[in-house]
Structure 1
Amino acid sequence: MTPLRHRPAAWLGALAALASLASLTFASTAAASDPLAAPEAGEWPSDGRDYSAQRYSPLTQIDASNVSKLGLAWYDDLDTYRGVEATPIYSDGVLYNILPFNVTIAYDAKTGERLWTYDPQVPREMARYACCEPVSRGLAMSGNKVIIATLDGRLIALDKTSGKPIWTTQTFGKEFPYSITGAPRVFGDKVVVGQSGGDFGVRGFVAAYDIETGAKKWKFFLTPGNPANGPDGEASDGVMSWVRETWFGNKYWELGGGANPWDSIAYDPELNLVYVGTGNSTPHARFYRSENKGDNLFVCSIVALKADTGEYAWHYQMNPGEEWDWTCTASIISADLQIDGKPRKVLMQAPKNGFFYVLDRKTGEFISAAAHVIQNWNAGFDDKGRPIVNEAVRYGFDPKLVMPGPGGAHNWFPMAYSPRTGLAYFPSYQSGFVYALQPDWKPQPMRSNSGWGGFSGPVLQQRMKLMEEANKIEKAWLTAWDPVKQQAAWQVELPRHGNGGVFVTASDLVFEGTTKQTFAAFDARTGKTLWEFPTQSAPVAGGITYMLDGEQYVAVNAGWGGGAAQIEQSSGTELPRAKARLLVFKLGGTKQLPPLAATAAVPPPPPLRASEAQIQAGAQLFAQTCAVCHGQNAIGGVKDLRHMTADTHSKFNQIVLEGLYLDKGMASFADLLKKEDVEAIHNYLIARANEDWGRSE
């Protein structure tokens, strides 16, 4: 029996436990009635978990002392080799997941039993307009609704119990080749969504819809439209007069200008501001887009909007006059930091351009930025925080080596932040790319429109020589970054680009999928690898953790693909892999994955009989039309076309012109290509296959 003199401590502990239970009960009640309330500790109801988007979980059952005992609790085969990029969400015993073409599945989160599946029947030809496969990066929920945004632009509210649609809203028309690959976000009584398509030519916008009905609440365009058409009648009208002053020429609106918010959108409920991360410009080359002049707002920026009306509040542009396919759509995280001895409410982002930014989230004031990889575009910042662009990276018809490359030093892979350690965690990639203008380029709606050239002839030889320099610096890490000191706290080197999204827990564990085809846990303070599980495919998605019946679970999609795979495969390093799976772990889990099937041998290519002129013509057509999905120089991509079988070669015209493989997402290109164009592309691919046949990759 415990001595009486020791009981006060015990009673205090019991009272503390009761208080904690009461607070959790209150939080649960508040969350049910207040759409702005923080989620319970064991829940993960949105891609960033809560409005801070820190991907930080307060759960501590799994820690450094026992993480080595994590095992597979259950898994689900997702029956696709496409990239699976979604962060699952969890609430009240149910795990929700979304696959390519927006197939949505609800699971019993304890057993893995499928409760329902909803297929929105996205037209497979929409894959043609998704630059990096028909992926989805997540879904959202509010009350009794699960919200999905489909590749073809529908916003759909599903009943979370039955999976049946409650309402559907179409968010865009057919005036541009829009698509949606990012997760929708629920902010109070609104669901906010952007769209993709910047590589094909779109006019970016963000829009908010009523969570109960799907009715549009507001819309904000992120680039100016044709001035002859007058105002848009949208929330952005109030700023378009001065935004237009940052664009030049009389045709920039033909391809929309870009700036599409294809992933990260964040929210501060206290300030009632929505933060929109915008994408690259289109066409990429400012020479063709804007007479080589102007900032071209709001490309590659964070734009803050008033949540109730969509009106402009402030913006910060990371890359004025962006022309390197850099985007500012990476995770936008809110935090409260002590900077120079003062508390600051900040936003943090590490976009493609290689810098880590800290901004005041109320005013947009630039606080600090620092590079976390080798870069050669930035010569510093002026006294207002405007970046000073090194003019040496403004390319012309002669190629220029620019660092980082278009894959970005940090792309969409989710970043996390721990208020315990004060560190941000994200996968970083050091790279370069060679840029040049395409002579006599003309805009071509509904197809890839970079304005980039140098893919054939003597310029190609210069390009390849410069790329040898870029290849020497290529590295990848999991980086822990101190946003106050603006320096790395630690880094773990990883073998290849494409390492996955990150989340962190209150027990100081960081979880990430790696291109070693593993899912791993690291010490959040030191970077020491504490646990690693072979996944048979590189998990590029962000994982989550949740609590159910007193047990903590960890879940992640392992589905190598999307843009990461295309960039990595373009180096010629194919990853033998299993089909995508949803993997769920717990302490003491005992499930095993089946053995990985053997990889089929690469078939020999047909003989090359085309002339050099035909091959060069095919190279240019491939770069304009096919490379966005099938890789620069025909290496890698969704399907490596150097590795076609004899049967595929025989059906090549049918596939490209007749849509023979529409069910696989390969639509007909008869609206863009003539028969002789297709034959030229085919000859180029045969040439590339013969060039690389027998090489060790």
Structure 2
Amino acid sequence: MRRILSAAVLVGVTSITTQAVFANEELAKMAENPKNWVMPTGDYANHRYSELDKITADNVGQLQAAWTFSTGVLRGHEGGPLIIDGVMYVHAPFPNTVYALDLSQEGKIIWKYEPKQDPSVIPVMCCDTVNRGVAYGDGKIILNQADTTVVALDAKTGEVLWQAKNGDPSKGETATAAPMVVKDKVIIGISGAEFGVRGHLSAYNLSDGKLAWRAYSVGPDAEMLIDPEKTTELGKPVGQNSSLESWEGDQWKIGGGTTWGWYSYDPELDLIYYGTGNPSTWNPAQRPGDNKYSMTIFARDPDDGQAKWLYQMTPHDEWDYDGVNEMILTDLDIGGTNRKALVHFDRNGFAYTLDRATGELLVAKKFDPAVNWASEIDMDKSSPTYGRPKVVAQYSTHQGGEDTNVQGICPAALGTKDQQPAAFSPDTGLFYVPTNHVCMDYEPFRVSYTAGQPYVGATLSMYPPKGDTHMGNFVAWDAAKGEAVWSLPEQFSVWSGALATKGGVVFYGTLEGYLKAVDAKTGKELYKFKTPSGIIGNVTTYEHAGKQYIAVLSGVGGWAGIGLAAGLTEPTAGLGAVGGYAALSDYTALGGQLTVFGLPEQLTSAN
């Protein structure tokens, strides 16, 4: 299989999707059919794009709700369902119930799986009890439970086939990320940097759930699966124990760098890609050094986990700008040369385009003009600070030492974009990016570590940038040029994942609860519908019985909606989000519902 994949040649922006599915023969067969949605991000390249074109810019304005389904849970509903050969697999926040629904009977329940988890895991979850979805492979549905238990369920019956424990909630280790199946492995991340968890990415055998390898984000080379002479950063070997040398003493042992975002895979290069999160604690004075390799993009071999290249975006993070957001893989013409590109919209407000084969930095530009913590990324290859951000001293949280309130930092800790995934359309060549337009005041303070207790060390408040009243934008981005083509303001952050379709329509949801459809070329709003609760889920499309449908989970929550989800009222609670999003309660309330949309003639046929 490896020889076949290595011989394949990627041609154009759509080829990655075609090639990627060969990584797993069953996934290959199903993913060739756009009627299905077989991976949490649509494909291995994280395009979140569908070839379905029955819903178009001309008729999308006629969409109506076709049917709905309640998950029975009232917390934040991130992620989205899988659709596999007429069956929809829907997940929920804690306790992470999974439903298999029959699409031929408008969502009749085929089976239900409800884990028996200790509710003591709930207060250890940083920013709501969210879960970003299940994965599929080899006839199994893979669930990554909040308590870090990885479960393989029989896709037809819901029977538990195997279980594996990926962490220890008593130490603050939890799970929110969707798994990814690559070849014969299940790729799993870990959450909990706000509790001093040392991050890692793990691979379990799809067949029996046994641990195949584990790569830590920080620490000794052997535990990070780094070869100091062969693993490179910006074209140079990282050198021996490069992570250890960037931490003071044993701080790395509680150093963060968790891996709770999204994963992607290039089968031709046979590499998986992902990002690591913030270093622990949020008080930068307590962890001198670059704190490698938190805030880092990794490229690894899926068979043994060995790192090929890495790139640290925010050395010695002072603002909680986790680097876990999705890596989108496509080929781009940059400066007249076709490059195998990786595009990443980071929490720190910069959009990065790298060569995914080598890790070469190609483009790094702000995707929100409000970003002020750094002026730019140094792109001079001859410079000793090549690839590093040029930090603006006024917005450094070291300024004035501990217990000094640094004001007006943009973006806020939740970033210009959090985990809500962008979409890429090969038809327009544009990336569609849900963003936060939010700034913050940040006051670090000294904190001591106790296993299982919060290890944050900062107090925050959040608000829109000076002179603005809106807290979000939906942006169309040209990653080759590093510039926005158009941008749509939203009252609150756009916390849902986007969807692009061959019909020329892009979909996203709003925190007030609207599903919106816009023209892929111009951004013109074509349709909106108010669902029962705020949308932080990812929009999905599928086809059944010859009809195209749009599906989205609504259920306000996540970091931005944590005040509503957890009943918090103190403005600085929720790591600063409660005060910033206090007005959200005027527009929506708790809920947990899947809404499926179709065109009127589809509704007639379905009923």
In 1, the alpha carbon distance for the partners of 2:480 and 2:287 equals 37
In 2, the alpha carbon distance for the partners of 1:487 and 1:468 equals 22
Does 2:116 correspond to 1:104?
Answer: no
Partner of 2:308: 313
Alignment coverage as a number of residue pairs:
545
In 1, the alpha carbon distance for the partners of 2:219 and 2:24 equals 40
In 2, the alpha carbon distance for the partners of 1:452 and 1:517 equals 31
Does 2:277 correspond to 1:279?
Answer: yes
1:546 partner amino acid: Y
Alignment partner of 1:518 out of 505, 514, 522: 514
In 1, the alpha carbon distance for the partners of 2:420 and 2:324 equals 10
1:331 partner amino acid: E
In 2, the alpha carbon distance for the partners of 1:121 and 1:147 equals 16
Judged with a 3 Å threshold, the aligned counterparts in structure 2 of structure 1 residues 362 and 175 are, in CA distance, closer, same or farther, namely: farther
Partner of 1:436: 443
Alignment partner of 1:399 out of 396, 399, 405: 405
Equivalent pair of 2:510/2:535 in contact (CA under 8 Å): yes
Alignment partner of 1:134 out of 129, 132, 148: 129
Partner of 1:94: 87
Equivalent pair of 2:142/2:152 in contact (CA under 8 Å): yes
In 2, the alpha carbon distance for the partners of 1:175 and 1:311 equals 29
For 1:232-289, what per-residue CA distance to the aligned partner results, in whole angstroms no more than 9, with x for missing partners?
66735868942334423224135x2111011112111111111121111110122112
Partner of 1:262: 260
In 2, the alpha carbon distance for the partners of 1:80 and 1:70 equals 26
Partner of 2:353: 358
1:242 partner amino acid: N
Work out which of the two has the higher radius of gyration on C-alpha atoms and give 1 or 2.
1
1:525 partner amino acid: K
**1:231-630 aligned within 5 A:** 235-236=225-226, 241-254=240-253, 256-290=254-288, 294-373=289-368, 374-382=370-378, 383=380, 384-395=386-397, 396-397=401-402, 398-401=404-407, 402-438=409-445, 440-452=446-458, 472=468, 475-566=471-562, 569-571=578-580, 572-573=582-583, 574=585, 575-577=587-589, 579-588=591-600
In 1, the alpha carbon distance for the partners of 2:454 and 2:468 equals 29
Alignment partner of 1:65 out of 40, 45, 58: 58
Instruction: Give the C-alpha shift of residue 43 in structure 1.
Output: 1.2
Instruction: Give the C-alpha shift of residue 471 in structure 1.
Output: 7.7
**1:634-645 aligned within 5 A:** none
Match of 1:281, SS state, is: coil
In 1, the alpha carbon distance for the partners of 2:542 and 2:283 equals 45
Larger helix percent: 1
In 2, the alpha carbon distance for the partners of 1:219 and 1:564 equals 31
In 2, the alpha carbon distance for the partners of 1:234 and 1:452 equals 28
Partner of 1:45: 38
Instruction: Give the C-alpha shift of residue 323 in structure 1.
Output: 2.1
Equivalent pair of 2:75/2:590 in contact (CA under 8 Å): no
Equivalent pair of 2:512/2:535 in contact (CA under 8 Å): no
Judged with a 3 Å threshold, the aligned counterparts in structure 2 of structure 1 residues 306 and 578 are, in CA distance, closer, same or farther, namely: closer
In 1, the alpha carbon distance for the partners of 2:260 and 2:579 equals 23
Match of 2:120, SS state, is: helix
In 2, the alpha carbon distance for the partners of 1:206 and 1:577 equals 35
Match of 1:125, SS state, is: helix
Instruction: Give the C-alpha shift of residue 568 in structure 1.
Output: 5.6
In 1, the alpha carbon distance for the partners of 2:464 and 2:363 equals 33
Judged with a 3 Å threshold, the aligned counterparts in structure 2 of structure 1 residues 473 and 218 are, in CA distance, closer, same or farther, namely: same
Judged with a 3 Å threshold, the aligned counterparts in structure 2 of structure 1 residues 359 and 70 are, in CA distance, closer, same or farther, namely: same
Instruction: Give the C-alpha shift of residue 34 in structure 1.
Output: 5.2
Equivalent pair of 2:331/2:339 in contact (CA under 8 Å): yes
Q: What TM-score does the superposition give when structure 2 sets the normalisation length? A: 0.85
Equivalent pair of 1:499/1:538 in contact (CA under 8 Å): no
Partner of 2:573: none
The runs of 5 or more residues in structure 1 that have no matched partner are 1-25, 226-230, 456-462, 592-697
Partner of 1:206: 201
1:442 partner amino acid: S
Equivalent pair of 1:129/1:179 in contact (CA under 8 Å): yes
Instruction: Give the C-alpha shift of residue 394 in structure 1.
Output: 2.4
1:220 partner amino acid: A
Identity of aligned residues (%): 32
Partner of 2:10: none
In 2, the alpha carbon distance for the partners of 1:48 and 1:39 equals 15
Partner of 2:8: none
Equivalent pair of 1:498/1:568 in contact (CA under 8 Å): no
In 2, the alpha carbon distance for the partners of 1:276 and 1:359 equals 13
Equivalent pair of 2:325/2:418 in contact (CA under 8 Å): yes
In 2, the alpha carbon distance for the partners of 1:568 and 1:494 equals 17
Pick which of 76-85 and 360-369 moved more: 76-85
Equivalent pair of 2:474/2:494 in contact (CA under 8 Å): no
Instruction: Give the C-alpha shift of residue 217 in structure 1.
Output: 1.3
In 1, the alpha carbon distance for the partners of 2:426 and 2:577 equals 33
Partner of 2:154: 159
Equivalent pair of 2:473/2:494 in contact (CA under 8 Å): no
2:594 partner amino acid: L
Larger strand percent: 2
Match of 2:561, SS state, is: helix
Equivalent pair of 1:39/1:50 in contact (CA under 8 Å): no
In 2, the alpha carbon distance for the partners of 1:470 and 1:297 equals 33
Match of 2:194, SS state, is: coil
For 1:535-567, what per-residue CA distance to the aligned partner results, in whole angstroms no more than 9, with x for missing partners?
021211111111111111111101111112136
Match of 1:562, SS state, is: coil
Judged with a 3 Å threshold, the aligned counterparts in structure 2 of structure 1 residues 430 and 148 are, in CA distance, closer, same or farther, namely: same
Instruction: Give the C-alpha shift of residue 578 in structure 1.
Output: 5.2
Match of 2:298, SS state, is: strand
Instruction: Give the C-alpha shift of residue 379 in structure 1.
Output: 2.8
Instruction: Give the C-alpha shift of residue 153 in structure 1.
Output: 1.0
Equivalent pair of 2:420/2:434 in contact (CA under 8 Å): yes
Instruction: Give the C-alpha shift of residue 100 in structure 1.
Output: 1.1
Does 2:113 correspond to 1:118?
Answer: yes
1:105 partner amino acid: Y
Equivalent pair of 1:43/1:90 in contact (CA under 8 Å): yes
1:247 partner amino acid: S
Instruction: Give the C-alpha shift of residue 170 in structure 1.
Output: 1.1
Match of 2:122, SS state, is: helix
In 1, the alpha carbon distance for the partners of 2:181 and 2:28 equals 10
In 1, the alpha carbon distance for the partners of 2:553 and 2:319 equals 30
Instruction: Give the C-alpha shift of residue 46 in structure 1.
Output: 0.6
1:483 partner amino acid: A
**1:682-697 aligned within 5 A:** none
In 1, the alpha carbon distance for the partners of 2:464 and 2:484 equals 27
Judged with a 3 Å threshold, the aligned counterparts in structure 2 of structure 1 residues 45 and 205 are, in CA distance, closer, same or farther, namely: same
For 1:599-631, what per-residue CA distance to the aligned partner results, in whole angstroms no more than 9, with x for missing partners?
xxxxxxxxxxxxxxxxxxxxxxxxxxxxxxxxx
Judged with a 3 Å threshold, the aligned counterparts in structure 2 of structure 1 residues 75 and 35 are, in CA distance, closer, same or farther, namely: closer
Judged with a 3 Å threshold, the aligned counterparts in structure 2 of structure 1 residues 366 and 468 are, in CA distance, closer, same or farther, namely: closer
Instruction: Give the C-alpha shift of residue 407 in structure 1.
Output: 1.4
Judged with a 3 Å threshold, the aligned counterparts in structure 2 of structure 1 residues 105 and 471 are, in CA distance, closer, same or farther, namely: farther
Judged with a 3 Å threshold, the aligned counterparts in structure 2 of structure 1 residues 137 and 232 are, in CA distance, closer, same or farther, namely: same
Pick which of 130-139 and 569-578 moved more: 569-578
Instruction: Give the C-alpha shift of residue 392 in structure 1.
Output: 3.0
For 1:394-450, what per-residue CA distance to the aligned partner results, in whole angstroms no more than 9, with x for missing partners?
222322122111111101111100011011011112221112221x53233322222
Instruction: Give the C-alpha shift of residue 474 in structure 1.
Output: 5.4
